[in-house]
Amino acid sequence: MASEAPISDPHPREEDIRRFVEAWGRMGSVWGISRTMAEVHALLYITGEPLCADDIMDRLAISRGNASMSLRGLLDWGIVSRAHRRGDRKDYFVAEQDVWAIFRAIVRERKKREVDPLLASLHELRDHTREAQRESGRSGKADDIDGRLDEMLEFFEMASTLAERFIGPSGPGLRFAATMLSKAPLPGGPKRGARGGARKAAQRSGRVAEDGA
Amino acid sequence: MASEAPISDPHPREEDIRRFVEAWGRMGSVWGISRTMAEVHALLYITGEPLCADDIMDRLAISRGNASMSLRGLLDWGIVSRAHRRGDRKDYFVAEQDVWAIFRAIVRERKKREVDPLLASLHELRDHTREAQRESGRSGKADDIDGRLDEMLEFFEMASTLAERFIGPSGPGLRFAATMLSKAPLPGGPKRGARGGARKAAQRSGRVAEDGA
DNA sequence: ACGTGCTTTCAGAAATTTCTGAAACCACTG
DNA sequence: CAGTGGTTTCAGAAATTTCTGAAAGCACGT
């Protein structure tokens, strides 16, 4: 109400927010959503406050339609939710604040739309192959193909199960496991300097010109 | 070879291969490559034999340029390599056959081009924020933003380290860990069978195909 | 050196994805 | 029940990505 826009303090943070939004937006492709959708999420996340469609349109300079669709998408993914203010008919939106919850949602969605269908095809295909092979005696080649199919299937089944656990009720358990695994106790000793470097290693964004094998 | 008419379906496998290629192609987006590139890889993988550019062009019905670029991409990713036949000047291509090696390569590449840059931005941003905050005393809001930035950073650092391990020399260790984690010892009970076929296939992968890392 | 067989490059064409703006909609309120 | 404030939808526009085909480039054998 009263304090709504501290114009005198033109948000020194505003610049930081902009930058975060931009960085996060570029990641959009990684989790399979559009840049704008990612930016909307970034804005809501970093801001931490409920924002309405107009706030978002303004700050991101996007159209109403785009804002609406992005928000809808985010809502579907379950990483943003609606909120209301009394005496205000606008819809406000807030982003899930728990990073792990965010990533669980991402994994859940991607698995659903990309891994599951693939797994289905692979199974179907494998069955078909098996059958065909049986009824025609076996020709040498088929065995190899079958084997490769199996290996692939096995891998994806493992990945799928792992993902299920991550997103499932025991998610927190996995969280623990992941944290542990990343923390360096593996047997075999610290042979490489890799890990300490994690911190700074990030810089080399440039393409590695290791052409021509 | 003179005949190439698949109309009479000379190879009963041909149809299976086509289906695998198609399914795999759709996954392309998941690992951030184009559909065609994924299909080329699928063909080489499932086929298991060295194929030359023309084989690929024909079977996938794509242009020479496209084939060449896709192959190059695959080569860069390190999941396909060149091979030659004596007395034949053509380049032939073979796909890495170890599924785990394939996925290590994928993780390596994606991390390099998507996570690392993000991590770099995030670090830079955090530093900037920190500094700005200090020199202006602290305004309540900034703390929150900083906190969220930190959480995000922490998460990505964990993920990054985990990825490094997966692709690094101790990759096999992680393979073990992942397999274990997916296999059902967690409290909560085994709800679904991801079962049996897996076992058999496991044997094939016994020989560890060390890829260059 | 030259021809040959094959590979790579690249500018523009085609396909696909994302964004806009305006109209249709909905749910309250007066 | 008309008005108001807000949200959603959607057809076409714009941007981006992917594909093609032809020309340029390479390396080898003769």
> Per-residue pLDDT for B54 more than 60?
yes
The amino acid that residue B162 corresponds to is L
Beta bridge partners, B51, equal B93
Task: Given CATH 2.60.40.10, say whether it is the number of domain A12-97.
Answer: no
3-state secondary structure of A104: helix
pLDDT at A128: 87
Q: Do B117 and A187 touch (CB under 8 A)?
A: no
Closest-CA distance of chain B to residue A39, Å: 14
Tell me the per-residue pLDDT of B37-51, one tens digit each, with 9 for 90 and over: 999 999 999 999 999
Residue of B104, B101, B124 lying closest to B112 (CA atoms) = B104
Q: From CA A57, how far away is CA A63, in angstroms rounded?
A: 6
> Considering only CB atoms, which chain A residues are within 8 Å of B27?
114, 118
pLDDT at B172: 63
The amino acid that residue A205 corresponds to is S
Pairing between strand B51-52 and A80-85?
Answer: unpaired
Closest residue in B to A129 (Cα–Cα): B16
- Among B35, B145, B167, the strongest candidate for a mutation testing the A interface, having the largest count of A CBs within 10 A, is B145
> Which ranges constitute the DSSP H helices of B64-195?
64-77, 99-110, 116-135, 140-167, 171-182
Q: From CA B7, how far away is CA A20, in angstroms rounded?
A: 55
> Per-residue pLDDT for B69 more than 50?
yes
**Token representation of residue A132:** 């065909």
Residue B201: which pLDDT band, with cuts at 50, 70 and 90?
very low
Q: From CA A120, how far away is CA A138, in angstroms rounded?
A: 25
pLDDT at B94: 96
What is the CB neighbour count within 10 angstroms for residue A134?
A: 10
Specify the higher pLDDT residue, B55 or B1. Answer: B55
Q: Which residue is nearest to nucleotide D8 (CA to C1')?
A: A68
Pairing between strand B80-85 and A88-95?
Answer: unpaired
pLDDT at B14: 84
Q: Which range has the top average pLDDT, A68-72, B10-14, B23-27?
A: A68-72
CB within 7 A of strand D (chain A, 80-109): 88-91
Distance B91 CA to D2 C1' (A): 76
Residue B128: which pLDDT band, with cuts at 50, 70 and 90?
confident
The set of long-range contacts for B137-144, using a CB threshold of 8 Å and a minimum separation of 24, is B139/A9, B141/A13, B142/A13, B144/A48
> Considering only CB atoms, which chain B residues are within 8 Å of A116?
none
Helix crossing, B140-167 with A99-110: angle to 10°?
50
Q: Report if CB B35 to strand D is under 7 Å.
A: yes
3-state secondary structure of A196: helix
pLDDT at A101: 92
Q: Which range has the top average pLDDT, A35-44, B101-110, B174-183, B187-196?
A: A35-44
Q: From CA B107, how far away is CA B76, in angstroms rounded?
A: 14
Residue A210 forms contact with B (CB below 8 Å): yes
Q: From CA A153, how far away is CA A136, in angstroms rounded?
A: 23
What is the CB neighbour count within 10 angstroms for residue A119?
A: 19
Please report, for chain A, the start and end positions of each structural domain, with discontinuous segments joined by +. 12-97, 100-171
> Per-residue pLDDT for B200 more than 60?
no
**Token representation of residue B206:** 């016994």
pLDDT at A19: 93
Closest residue in A to B140 (Cα–Cα): A13
pLDDT at A31: 81
pLDDT at B198: 35
Question: What residues of chain B, 54 to 113, have a C-beta less than 8 Å from chain A?
Answer: 75-76, 81-82, 97, 99-100, 103, 110, 112-113
**3-class SS letters over B89-112:** EEEEEEECCCHHHHHHHHHHHHHH
pLDDT at B182: 64
Distance A87 CA to D7 C1' (A): 17
Strand D contact nucleotides, protein CB < 7 Å: 5-11, 17-23, 28
> Per-residue pLDDT for B129 more than 80?
yes
Average pLDDT over residues B132-145: 68
Range with lowest mean pLDDT among B13-17, B90-94, B124-128: B13-17
Q: From CA B199, how far away is CA B12, in angstroms rounded?
A: 26
Strand order in the sheet with A88-95: A51-52, A88-95, A80-85
Q: From CA A141, how far away is CA B176, in angstroms rounded?
A: 30
Residue B183: which pLDDT band, with cuts at 50, 70 and 90?
low
> Per-residue pLDDT for B139 more than 50?
yes
Tell me the per-residue pLDDT of B153-172, one tens digit each, with 9 for 90 and over: 999 999 998 888 888 776 56
pLDDT averaged per 10 residues in sequence order, chain A, 213 residues: 45 82 89 93 95 95 96 94 92 94 91 91 90 67 82 93 82 64 54 37 34 31
> Considering only CB atoms, which chain A residues are within 8 Å of B125?
16, 19-20, 23
Q: Do B200 and A145 touch (CB under 8 A)?
A: no
The amino acid that residue B67 corresponds to is A
pLDDT at A144: 86
3-state secondary structure of A97: coil
Q: Report if CB B47 to strand D is under 7 Å.
A: no
Q: Which residue is nearest to nucleotide C18 (CA to C1')?
A: A34
